[in-house]
Structure 1
Amino acid sequence: MANRIEFAVLGPVTARRGGNPIGLDQQERALLAALLVAFPHSVDIERLRALVRSTRAAEGNGQVADGPDALEQALERLRSRLGAGPGGDDDALVREGTRYQLVVPRDAVDSARFVDEVRRGDAMLERAPDAAADAYREGLRLWHGSAFDGIPTSAFLETEFIESAVARLTARRFEARIALARAQLAAGEPASAAVEGEALVVDHPLDERAWELLVLGLARSGQEAHALAALRRCRAVYDDGLGSEIGVGLRRIEKAILEKDVIYLETAEVSPPPILPGSNLVLPGTRLVDRERDVARLVELLEESRLVTLVGPPGVGKTRLAVEVCRRNEMPDGPWIVDLAKVSDGALIPSTIATVLSLPGVGSATHLAEVMAAKSSVLVLDNCDHVVGYTADTVRAIIEHCEGVHVIVTGQSALGVAGEAVHEVTSLPVDGKALELFAERAAGVDVTWRLDDKNERSVRTVCTQVVGIPLGIELAAAQLRYMNEAEIADGLAKHMTLLHGVPDPQIGPRGRMWDVVDWVNSLLSDAEAMLLRRTSVFAGSFDADGAAAMYEFASETDVSAVLTVLVRRGLLRVVPGTSPTRYRMLASIRQFAREQADDAESIAIRAAHRTFVMARVESAAGMLRSARAGHALTRLTEDQAEHRAALESAFAADDAHYALELAGYLSWFWYRTGNVGEGLKFLRTALDMVAGDWRPPEPRVMARALDGLSSLTYLTGDAAIAEDAARRAAHLWSSIGDIGEMARDEAWRALFVAMQGQPEAAVEPARNAVKVAAEHDSVWTETEARTVLGLLLRTIGSVDEARKELRAAIRVGERCGHRWAVTASTWGLMKAAADAGDVEGALATMRVLRAELEEDDVISWLVMVHSTAAVLASAGRPTDGAVLMGAADALGAQSGFLPTWIDVVDGPIEAAAVHDALDDEEYEQYATMGAHLTREQVDRLVGELVEGPVTEPR
């Protein structure tokens, strides 16, 4: 079309009509960028005010003026520039009420075209790689710089929305480049793949897939010397940057080039991403040596018994073997691995598993089993020795209720659960595979290393000293960076003699493994040994910033250098694909390192860890009440193991006030993620400890903890206790003059009163909370209070006033970035429209709600689907409603959180409305159809039901 309008964000943000650029000033381009991030959904004008700086052109005095109307005027200018005129047929920017939306074909936006081309390439990659390569090239050709380039950050009031969009598109571009090079290799274009691979390693020097594509492209195009040179570059990059060796995929390619194995080079596949999709399983970077019989046997045992426990001493390879079995055992819902070494309190095992599996609301073993009942997966519970009894209880519940779930447990002894199959993992034979493993790891350190007559005796001595334990062999081989085989053998022998005098067969594999770690530790400098001890406090992985916080008087740069040495020594491992780089310590090494600290240092280390965790949580908690809430939730989720460790550490040290403060900061996080049982456990323990402490709690800390107790108890349906906690918190906030927080508690108290059957009595307190919050300019509280008031007004039949308050809540929430309140208010508007019989209005509001929901907000999404089912039933579409109701119930059960728990008044009414619109047989038929859908399928179905079918990419 000659007058077609097109938008570009894959480079400078631009708009063109008929191929000609449309002139936009800085503010108009910033507004266009915000609208394009939301495309194809609409955006409320208040949201735009919260995102884009509201300024007008400089006036005569040189000052920049701004005001409440400036942004609206800029939007109208943008509408005029993009469209043919007000109300014109080809208006690209449409206003409906307070919302603006770009209404253009999907292919008019270059980012949407890029995504569609990549999807088209993905669909053809296996069967038609040449056509797939064309699709990837077509998509990548749309890029002309960095995404959303050219708009200064000063144009925005809030930058997270644009930063998130840039990150998503940039990650997708990288994956498309990887896929293009793979397609070129498969289509017989190795030279082109090498060119793309070279560009990739320049941009992403620590991505092994990029290096594999470069090396394979060079090798297949006859450039073996250049391929080996690229491998040397890669080794240097990994050694200098991380201290680690290259992965198994690159080493296998390297071996094939050196041995001129043409067949392997022509058929080799690029390694998959380090973490499997739909799983948390990190693929190993090394080859598994001499475990084929074990793997085959374990696969058989899993089919026969569903519970297999791998027993053996530390370092023998139980975890590695379990990972390999999972990698070869494809199941729809996993596999998943849960490191129980991070759990100090066995009662937290169910919620820890639930966190890994993204199942909010789970608190007990029985509940976990009920939630997992529909899943088909392999679950690995790793390192259970310190919580054997609790592990056994959890496993019993899972095995009893979850027919599709197979469990692998690792430890030094069996659980004693009925039906358990026990498989003993033994050391490698010293005269055979132990030497092969040393050679494999040695070649990872030095590509030129070979097992031969000159070094075989020393290697055999090393393997004998470590009694064939794989981790001991790997640690010994890692020292080849610093000494030769003879020096390693001699050093080990002298160390063992120093420890035990003469060889003692009573030491056993576990003691010998401990001795090997002790020898490597003795090779460290004082600074290196100190950092190993201090970072052993981390329950999960950590970055250089975390390590620096544990390491007194050292800069992050100095710490990074020491971390690299510890990786080279084999005492730390790099977590693949992390940026900034994160490190982890194997459980057996962590246990050793912790025991090297004396009592005074142990106390200091744990105190430093608590200080670090508090600072991280306090920083993130501040963001939870801002437009950066999504970023804060992600960061807090990554750190959950540290939260648990810090709280348990505080309980052990009788530091009740620290525990209360940390639990209070975490309470909104627990609420948003549905970790109700865990949150209540920690909060109640902290409150009980403080009650028995002679020191009175700081009022602000106590009030925040009571707020957490109130909100989490609300999610359990106990409105009376929730109200009492909110009342006590409100009194404390009032006593210290924080009127905004007091008003927030009064608003929530009103809701809890209504839940106890007194909605009329609740309205006036909620109205007063709105008034107080507005008078004190407490916008966050005002948003929540108006949300509560609107929901209460609706329940007493004041629908028009309810809509007014909910719309006001949305306006305030959009301005202050309170996304949760905006979502809740929009949900209330949807219900109010349905109450008034305005089905079309309810569906229109539902479209807005669907666009507003944050991706990780499972609870709100379930409630939205549940309510949409009732609206569809009232619109004369009961079968569609039954499908969605069945899906909401099934996915809610899997997630551990049912919509009726939070929507205690309307939830049962909605369910009855859908059920009563059909006879029992029909309802079951359609609800069963919905129960088999995934979340992605349900979300797509909801979109089609309320917005129409989505056009598939060509």
Structure 2
Amino acid sequence: MTATVDGREVALGGPRQRAVLAVLVAARGRLVTQESLIAQAWDERRPPSPATLHSYVAALRRALEPGREAGRTAGVLVREHIGYALRTSRHALDAERFTVLAARGEELLRGGDPERAATVLGEALSLWRGPAYAEFEGHAFAAPETARLHGLRLSAQEDLFAAELARGRHAAVIGDLEKHTAEEPLSERGWELLTLALYRSGRQADALAALRTARRMLAEELGIDPGPSLRRLEAAVLAQDETAAPPAPAPGGDLAYGAATGAPRGRNLPFALTGLVGREEERERVALLLQEHRLVTLTGPGGIGKTRLMLEVAHARTDEDGPWLVELADLEEPDPQLVAVSVADALGIRDGASAARLAEVLGGRRTLLVLDNCEHLLQAAAGTVAQLLSRCGGLRVLVTSREPLGITGEAVYEVPPLSAEAGGELFLARARAATPGWVPQESDAEVAERICQELDGLPLAIELAAAQCRVLSVEQISTALNDRFSVLVGGPGTGPARHRALRAAMEWSYRMLERPERETFHRLSVFAGSFDLDAATAICGRPVLAELAALVRKSLVTAETGTTPRRYRMLETLKEYGRKQAEPAELAAAQAAHRSWVLARAAAAARWMEGPHAARATEQTTRDQPEVRVAFTSALLARDGAYALQLGGALMRFWYRSGHVAEGLGWLSAALELTPEGMPGPRARALIATSALNYLKGDFATAARAAADAARHARDAGDTVIEAQGLSYRALFEGMGGTPGTARRAEAAVELARISGEPWLEAEALMVLGMLLRIDGEGERAREVLTHSVTLAVACGHRFVQASSSWLVMKSDLDLGRAEQALTTGLATLRDLEEDQDVTGWLVIAHTTAAALALAGHAEEGAVLLGVVEERGARVGFSPMLMDPVDGARQSTQVHEALEPRDLARCLDRGGRMSPAEVTGMLTRSAAGRGEYDAAGADRWPCRDSSSPADL
């Protein structure tokens, strides 16, 4: 293995480091996990530590990207998720370049251009410098790729010989063909080409001797007779048939003689009545797969557009023979003989219809056979296709099926849904055809895209929806999709019955499920989004790997590649169908299991939400939000108020930190209304959540009442923690509302928190006490109490209280004229909150930091940061000024008054357009060296130059 950079060979290190690179090259751009990379590169040897692998990767990066700056993201050997991948163009790797050139050469040869084919194939073969992966012989990772490349090299070499024969260079290639048949004695095509070269050079006896040698080699090595193509050639040579003579200079196949096939050549593909929309990339990918592989299967759920895509790809082929379409949807008996009969009928063969007879007919032809709708005949179709491919070297097969055939060498392409844009275009095109004279408005286009998203981008569903434009408006169709299976009917009567209604398309797949697979399908339909194997096991109440794998194979569940652990997803249409098919009791049990799973995850995340793992807990809960909403909905419909209270209590901190104030209050309100005064424990936690969210909303009176109710219910439940929180929150919110003497109540809450033995609770109670002392004008004492709160919070890892108390320390410092000290605290706290993904906390601290910047003499930077706060706050529906009406308004005024109106407007606007990375960069520079306003450094400040945000 060698590598060159800018024309010079670079050192790739020792054998193991080179093996690491070889594994990534063999992966052909796919991600290789760290564990798999170690296992393959060390191949049963004692594996190294991850640090050793990282050092090898770093060395390879230095070799492959010598000019890359330190700290800059690698562009060739890249880290993705939990593994590595080689990201290069196809022409950067000799193996990939060879693959492309070989495929192009074959295409030119089939298209009747042997001159250009010979040039391209010669260029492809010149890239070889010996056996593929020779230095890694014996490594398991190299074997499949070595076999693939060897097969492609053999085909390319024989294509080159065929091109030379087509050019009339018969005698010139005899020596090379004799060497080739000696090296590849089991290649029937090689013997066929040598025989033709000898015969056309006037050496009939030598041609027959070559055929005898071929017959003997095949009998001794494989115990088989020559295939029909060689037998026909032998008969043509003996009879001096003109079919073995040199071809006329006209377009033809790559074999230079025309063997009788037993059936007229041509094609039987139907032509579509409508244009294909939004499948350009898919067409190119499938066409490329057909160049590289002899069997390609298009998979996907019913209605995804497999047949339509197949027809488009097949029509673009330039085979001299075919493509031949075999429609299998109406074939009910899974009998291989019946599959062979269907193929024979399509090819026009009347004298026998077995796989063996088909192989004889197709043996000498280079054609494409297309089998449409094989999912209900998998075993029968697979057997027939495997036999044909093994005996017909020039045959390629394109299959559509909701499940792969499972044959060795099969390339599977999962047809994706249409994008919202392409789906909208398809909808409008079909709607215009169904409603002559209708001109869609801009609003119709927007609703059409929404319809297509709701219908999962399924072309069949989109076309059925568009057909309803004859009787319904686009907006009415969108609304009616709540019962999509009743609306999406009335497909064209000339099409298959399964395409005349969406339900029929779903039923076609559903009927082929075994009973355990159906039960799993029903239960998985309760998920709102993607899920992993553990989640599926929890919902189904038993191990379901086998059933899940079957559903993936049958295109009813999609595996999301690149995820670890692997995640799975169902189209919304399939989920709705699955829920409708489930028995009511079965569906209710699945929904109850789903609720239990959601609550367990929310409770586990809540335990991590306040500490150093807050970011991970926030990410998990954010990803789980679709499941949370479904769980709340099913709980409320089932009138399970106790569950809704528990889930709402577990989600309090997530809603608070993420700014989901309205959503959280909506669920909590519904849960509290549904639940009687009993269950004091869950009710107390839900009320604490209600209190905290109303505080963010700026409704201090409601927040105080909820906190008082929470303390009362917690006392009844014997929950000291929630009782102390309730007393603290009540004191705080009443104090913020103007009630005097609340600091004394807060002191009582601090004592109760100490009794509970929870340090984090004491830190939070001290935070409240400090805040109230500051409101009462006791600034110095407030700062002391808050500093103690920060110390306790740091000691127990309670990041939320640490940040909140630090914010209050900042405000006390600003009261005492210590702007620089407040600024230092604010910048450090913002970094922590950004790591924790605490949205509301970040906005609150940033708002106060903007005021500190203005008071410290950095007005422009303060205005930019205030612009960031206003834009991000509006995006999530949260305002620091509502939560902190007294100080918040004053802080904004301090920033506004520090600048001229024109400068203020420019800085606010620039802040509103900054990316998160640009904001982080600005704050980092500010922390590193504040106050350096001079001409040389003026371009560091974003409002000085409005030309480009890249200055940040």
Q: 2:580 aligns with which of 595, 605, 612?
A: 595
Letter in 2 for 1:536: S
Q: 1:776 aligns with which of 732, 735, 756?
A: 756
The alpha-carbon distance between structure 1 residues 508 and 713, as it changes in their structure 2 partners (threshold 3 A), is farther
Q: Secondary structure at the match of 1:618?
A: helix
The alpha-carbon distance between structure 1 residues 699 and 257, as it changes in their structure 2 partners (threshold 3 A), is farther
Which residue pairs with 1:828 in the alignment?
808
Any conservation in 1 of the 2:648–2:664 contact (CA below 8 Å)?
A: yes
The alpha-carbon distance between structure 1 residues 939 and 854, as it changes in their structure 2 partners (threshold 3 A), is closer
Which residue pairs with 1:722 in the alignment?
703
The alpha-carbon distance between structure 1 residues 800 and 675, as it changes in their structure 2 partners (threshold 3 A), is same
Any conservation in 1 of the 2:539–2:593 contact (CA below 8 Å)?
A: yes
Residue 766, structure 1, aligned to residue 746, structure 2: yes
Residue 852, structure 1, aligned to residue 832, structure 2: yes
Alignment of 1:110-509 (within 5 A): 183=65, 216=93, 219=96, 222=128, 226=132, 294-295=277-278, 428=308, 431-433=311-313, 459-460=371-372, 476=401, 478-481=403-406
Which residue pairs with 2:720 in the alignment?
739
Any conservation in 2 of the 1:204–1:210 contact (CA below 8 Å)?
A: no
Which residue pairs with 1:698 in the alignment?
679
Count of residues paired in the alignment: 591
CA displacement at 1:528 relative to structure 2: 2.8
Task: Give the whole-Å Cα distance in 2 for the aligned partners of 1:637 and 1:620.
Answer: 11
The alpha-carbon distance between structure 1 residues 461 and 930, as it changes in their structure 2 partners (threshold 3 A), is closer
CA displacement at 1:669 relative to structure 2: 1.6
Query: What whole-Å deviation, never above 9, does each CA across 1:431-462 have from its counterpart, x for those lacking one?
Result: 5447889999x9xxxxxxxx996696761476
The alpha-carbon distance between structure 1 residues 296 and 581, as it changes in their structure 2 partners (threshold 3 A), is closer
The alpha-carbon distance between structure 1 residues 518 and 425, as it changes in their structure 2 partners (threshold 3 A), is closer
Residue 681, structure 1, aligned to residue 666, structure 2: yes
Residue 866, structure 1, aligned to residue 866, structure 2: no
Query: What whole-Å deviation, never above 9, does each CA across 1:22-66 have from its counterpart, x for those lacking one?
Result: xxxxxxxxxxxxxxxxxxxxxxxxxxxxxxxxxxxxxxxxxxxxx
Q: 1:904 aligns with which of 881, 885, 889?
A: 885
CA displacement at 1:728 relative to structure 2: 0.4
Task: Give the whole-Å Cα distance in 1 for the aligned partners of 2:154 and 2:912.
Answer: 52
Q: Secondary structure at the match of 1:459?
A: strand
Any conservation in 2 of the 1:130–1:183 contact (CA below 8 Å)?
A: no
Alignment of 1:78-93 (within 5 A): none
Which residue pairs with 1:606 in the alignment?
591
The alpha-carbon distance between structure 1 residues 661 and 175, as it changes in their structure 2 partners (threshold 3 A), is farther
Which residue pairs with 2:775 in the alignment?
795
CA displacement at 1:866 relative to structure 2: 1.7
Letter in 2 for 1:572: V
Which residue pairs with 2:536 in the alignment?
547
Task: Give the whole-Å Cα distance in 1 for the aligned partners of 2:513 and 2:811.
Answer: 65
Which residue pairs with 2:623 in the alignment?
638
Any conservation in 2 of the 1:711–1:722 contact (CA below 8 Å)?
A: yes
CA displacement at 1:607 relative to structure 2: 1.7
Any conservation in 1 of the 2:881–2:889 contact (CA below 8 Å)?
A: yes
Task: Give the whole-Å Cα distance in 2 for the aligned partners of 1:520 and 1:562.
Answer: 15
Which residue pairs with 1:928 in the alignment?
909
CA displacement at 1:550 relative to structure 2: 2.2
CA displacement at 1:510 relative to structure 2: 4.9
Letter in 1 for 2:371: V
Task: Give the whole-Å Cα distance in 1 for the aligned partners of 2:11 and 2:915.
Answer: 27
The alpha-carbon distance between structure 1 residues 659 and 775, as it changes in their structure 2 partners (threshold 3 A), is closer
Letter in 2 for 1:747: S
Task: Give the whole-Å Cα distance in 2 for the aligned partners of 1:860 and 1:711.
Answer: 13
Any conservation in 2 of the 1:542–1:583 contact (CA below 8 Å)?
A: yes
Query: In terms of mean alpha carbon deviation, does 563-572 or 723-732 score higher?
Result: 563-572
CA displacement at 1:810 relative to structure 2: 0.9
Any conservation in 1 of the 2:598–2:631 contact (CA below 8 Å)?
A: yes
Query: What whole-Å deviation, never above 9, does each CA across 1:219-254 have from its counterpart, x for those lacking one?
Result: 567479647999x9889999xxxxxxxxxxxx9999
Task: Give the whole-Å Cα distance in 1 for the aligned partners of 2:530 and 2:324.
Answer: 29
Q: Secondary structure at the match of 1:783?
A: helix
CA displacement at 1:463 relative to structure 2: 11
CA displacement at 1:545 relative to structure 2: 0.7
Any conservation in 2 of the 1:193–1:213 contact (CA below 8 Å)?
A: no
Letter in 2 for 1:721: T
Identity of aligned residues (%): 31
Letter in 1 for 2:534: D
Query: What whole-Å deviation, never above 9, does each CA across 1:353-389 have from its counterpart, x for those lacking one?
Result: xxxxxxxxxxxxxxxxxxxxxxxxxxxxxx9xxxxxx
Any conservation in 2 of the 1:542–1:582 contact (CA below 8 Å)?
A: yes
Task: Give the whole-Å Cα distance in 1 for the aligned partners of 2:409 and 2:853.
Answer: 74
Q: Tell me the TM-score normalised to structure 2 length.
A: 0.53
Which residue pairs with 1:838 in the alignment?
818
CA displacement at 1:773 relative to structure 2: 0.9
Which residue pairs with 1:536 in the alignment?
525
Unaligned runs of 5+ in 2: 22-48, 69-73, 98-126, 160-271, 284-300, 318-322, 328-342, 348-357, 359-366, 378-397, 411-491, 931-936, 941-949
Q: 1:652 aligns with which of 637, 641, 646?
A: 637
Q: Secondary structure at the match of 1:933?
A: coil
Query: In terms of mean alpha carbon deviation, does 454-463 or 585-594 score higher?
Result: 454-463
Task: Give the whole-Å Cα distance in 1 for the aligned partners of 2:313 and 2:494.
Answer: 22
Letter in 1 for 2:735: A
Letter in 2 for 1:817: G
CA displacement at 1:585 relative to structure 2: 1.4
Q: Secondary structure at the match of 1:479?
A: coil
Which residue pairs with 1:619 in the alignment?
604
Query: In terms of mean alpha carbon deviation, does 722-731 or 647-656 score higher?
Result: 647-656
CA displacement at 1:819 relative to structure 2: 0.4
Q: Secondary structure at the match of 2:568?
A: strand
Q: Secondary structure at the match of 2:678?
A: coil
Query: In terms of mean alpha carbon deviation, does 862-871 or 905-914 score higher?
Result: 862-871
Letter in 2 for 1:659: A
Pair member with larger Rg: 2
Residue 818, structure 1, aligned to residue 795, structure 2: no
Letter in 2 for 1:771: E
Q: Secondary structure at the match of 1:905?
A: helix
Any conservation in 1 of the 2:657–2:839 contact (CA below 8 Å)?
A: no
Letter in 2 for 1:585: M
CA displacement at 1:827 relative to structure 2: 1.4
Letter in 1 for 2:552: V
The alpha-carbon distance between structure 1 residues 738 and 659, as it changes in their structure 2 partners (threshold 3 A), is closer
Any conservation in 1 of the 2:307–2:372 contact (CA below 8 Å)?
A: no
Q: Secondary structure at the match of 1:753?
A: helix
Query: What whole-Å deviation, never above 9, does each CA across 1:835-872 have from its counterpart, x for those lacking one?
Result: 11122322332343234324211222222222122112
CA displacement at 1:822 relative to structure 2: 0.1
